[in-house]
Amino acid sequence: MKNLKLKSARAAKDLSQEDLAKICGVSRQTISAIEKGDYNPTINLCIAICKALDKTLDELFWEE
């Protein structure tokens, strides 16, 4: 399932996939795969992404 909430939050912060990847210590391809729903990140990576985007885990990763 695509993670449009992550993509939207990243765009709202005016960050590219590359920018967010550098902040979180992963590759741009990893961020892309998470947004596409092709990769389930570890909880530590989820937390790093949330901190970088000033969001909670629920806001970015909870499926309705």
What's the pLDDT tens digit per position in 8-55? 999 999 999 999 999 999 999 999 999 999 999 999 999 999 999 999
Query: For residue 31, is it within any domain?
Result: yes
Query: For residue 61, is it within any domain?
Result: no
Domain span including residue 42: 4-55
pLDDT of residue 13: 97
Residue 45 maps to which CATH number?
A: 1.10.260.40
**What element of type H or E holds 4?**
helix 4-12
**What element of type H or E holds 60?**
helix 57-61
Give the global pTM.
0.93
State the total domains in the chain.
Answer: 1
Q: Which of 44, 33, 58, 24 is nearest to 15 (CA)?
A: 24
Query: For residue 40, is it within any domain?
Result: yes
